[in-house]
Structure 1
Amino acid sequence: MNFDDLTINIIKALGHPVRYKIIKFLYESPKCVCKLNEEFQFSQANLSQHLRILKDASVLKSEKVGVETHYSLYSEEIKNIINAVENYVGIVIENAKR
């Protein structure tokens, strides 16, 4: 996969509402998949699909801890991307009020 393809995959992965919520949920610390299931109330298959997309785009990584799989952000840089977009949205909203 080349640079542009990976960039596009990351942007696409971040652009889905469910995946955005998963990323925000993992901001502070890694969580086991059981905690993700509790938080998001999706079918296991649906959650697994979103997690796979995020992993394939190098947004999340997973680690086996005993019998559990724990997910975390691939890099702290993901937070910077989300924060930059959220800051930009704040600017857009503020400008729309004028």
Structure 2
Amino acid sequence: MNQDDLAVKVFKALGHPVRFKIMKFLCDGPKCVCKLNEKFEYSQANLSQHLRILKDAGLVKSEKVGLEMHYGLYSNDVKNIIEDVGKYVLNYINGIKETESL
């Protein structure tokens, strides 16, 4: 897989509303899968599929802690992507509002 293919895989993974919400939730730090299940009321199987896609895209990593599986962002670079998208969207919305008020 080349660099462009992996970049597309990252965008596809982030392009799903559930996965984007999971990523935002993980920006606060690693969480056990039980906390993810509490926050996102999806079946265990559904949540596992989303986490696998995020992991395959290199966005999250997992670690077994005792009997629990914990998921966290792969690196702070991933957190920066999520935060930068939020900033971009806010600036974009504010720009549209300014344009509409003219």
State whether TM-score is above 0.5. Answer: yes
1:20 aligns with 2:49: no
Q: Distance in 2 between matches of 1:30 and 1:85?
A: 20
With the length of structure 1 as denominator, give the TM-score of the two structures: 0.95
Q: Distance in 2 between matches of 1:54 and 1:13?
A: 6
Note the residue ranges of structure 1 that are not aligned, 5 or more in a row.
none
Give the corresponding residue for 2:91: 91
Identity of aligned residues (%): 65
User: 3-state SS of the aligned residue for 2:79?
Assistant: helix
Instruction: Judge which range, 65-74 or 81-90, deviates more.
Output: 81-90
After superposing on structure 2, the runs of 4+ consecutive aligned residues of structure 1 that deviate more than 4 Å are none
Give the corresponding residue for 1:35: 35
State which structure, 1 or 2, has the greater radius of gyration over its C-alpha atoms: 2
Q: Distance in 1 between matches of 2:18 and 2:8?
A: 18
The aligned length equals 98
Q: Distance in 1 between matches of 2:91 and 2:27?
A: 23
RMSD: 0.8
Cα distance, 1:59 vs structure 2: 0.3
User: 3-state SS of the aligned residue for 1:13?
Assistant: helix
Cα distance, 1:69 vs structure 2: 0.5
1:59-94 deviation digits (Å, cap 9, x = unpaired): 000001111100000011111111111111111111
User: 3-state SS of the aligned residue for 2:36?
Assistant: helix
User: 3-state SS of the aligned residue for 2:62?
Assistant: strand
1:58 aligns with 2:67: no
User: 3-state SS of the aligned residue for 1:64?
Assistant: strand
Note the residue ranges of structure 2 that are not aligned, 5 or more in a row.
none
Q: Distance in 2 between matches of 1:91 and 1:53?
A: 29
Give the corresponding residue for 1:6: 6
Q: Distance in 1 between matches of 2:66 and 2:48?
A: 19
